[in-house]
Amino acid sequence: MEKLSYRTLIDGDIPPWVMRFIKHTGKAINTYSMIRENDTVLLSASGGKDSLALALALSIRRKWLPIEYKLKALMINWIEHPIPDAYRELLNTYFTDLGYDFSIVDEHQFPSSFQGEFNCYLCSRNRRRILFDYCEQQHIGLVAMGHHLDDLVETSLMNLCFRANFSTMQPVQPFFDGKIHIIRPMIEVHESVTQRLATVYDLPVVKPVCPYDQTNIRARLKPIIKDLAHLDKLTREHIYHAHQFEGRL
């Protein structure tokens, strides 16, 4: 099946299921007061389906709002596993079309400070350090992550089953005494929705290489969560609501 152009969505030809996705994202933003008038939002752009879907939602919903906010996007290109040059152009076009100030920075996935070690935690910490350094340089206080409801559920089960701690990623998470906040506008959105967007529309999806992509604990939990959802289709929502996050209306 030939994919539709994402530009049709920018032009206002938005089918009901995409509209629901955008409004669902907006609902979380409003519930947790994620974005305010004149904020600058830095999107952490991995190049995967989730960050590209979030980019779309943040851009399109801005047209309907009585407030204005600025959009920037930063992609970290790992030197050890670089994205193809063709995708640099595709991503630049995509984010420019959506009204973002887009940048790509080339960084080492395995810096010398790791001393030869590498795991998901170190990789995530390294990515966050780069994002925070960029925020400090650009005087940005908001970083938008493309995490969705399935990510939250997986994190919840990882912490519960392997760390005896019922905690998870927060919709809004402060760092450095509130100088920087990470926001997760798709925290109530199912991963299947972002997958459908990438399948139907020509989003320039490019996933940087992850050595543990198919073997880490998070990947191994996905089929377990699907099985739980067969018992109760609202399994993910139940786990989300069990956390009772502050700020929910």
- Stated as kind and residue range, the H or E segment containing 133 is helix 120-138
At 209, is the pLDDT very low, low, confident or very high (cuts 50, 70, 90)?
low
Q: Residue 25 in contact with residue 54, Cβ under 8 Å?
A: yes
Instruction: For residue 31, count CB atoms less than 10 angstroms from its CB and return exposed for 0-12, middle for 13-18, buried for 19 or more.
Output: middle
In a domain, 248, yes or no: no
- The helix/strand/coil state of 196 is helix
The whole-angstrom separation of Cα 95 and Cα 63 is: 16
Torsion of CA 43, 148, 85, 90, to 10 degrees: -70
In a domain, 1, yes or no: no
- Distance from CA of residue 29 to its chain's centroid? 13
The total of structural domains in the chain comes to 1
Q: Supply 100's token pair.
A: 């973002």
Q: Which of these ranges, 34-48, 182-196, 208-222, has the smallest mean pLDDT?
A: 208-222
pLDDT tens, position by position, 84-93 = 999 999 999 9
Residue with tokens 């409801």: 149
Q: Is 169's pLDDT higher than 70? A: yes
The dihedrals phi and psi of 89, each to the nearest 5 degrees, come to -70, -45
In a domain, 160, yes or no: yes
Quote the domain boundaries for residue 69. 7-242
Torsion of CA 187, 193, 195, 201, to 10 degrees: -120
- Distance from CA of residue 78 to its chain's centroid? 18
Query: What angle, rounded to 10 degrees, do the helices at 217-231 and 235-242 form?
Result: 110
| pLDDT of 249 | 41
pTM of the model: 0.93
Q: Residue 145 in contact with residue 44, Cβ under 8 Å?
A: yes
pLDDT tens, position by position, 19-77 = 999 999 999 999 999 999 999 999 999 999 999 999 999 999 999 999 999 999 999 99
Q: What is the CATH number of the domain that holds 217?
A: 3.40.50.620
- The helix/strand/coil state of 111 is coil
Sheet with 70-78, side-by-side order of all strands: 101-107, 70-78, 40-44, 142-144, 180-183, 172-175
In a domain, 249, yes or no: no
In a domain, 156, yes or no: yes
Q: Is 212's pLDDT higher than 80? A: no
Which residues, 6 or more positions from 103, have their beta carbon under 8 angstroms from its beta carbon?
72, 73, 74, 75
pLDDT tens, position by position, 82-131 = 999 999 999 999 999 999 999 999 998 776 676 667 666 777 888 899 99
Half-sphere exposure of 119 (CA within 13 A, CB side): 5
Q: Supply 136's token pair.
A: 């400090």
Q: Is 191's pLDDT higher than 90? A: yes
In a domain, 2, yes or no: no
In a domain, 88, yes or no: yes
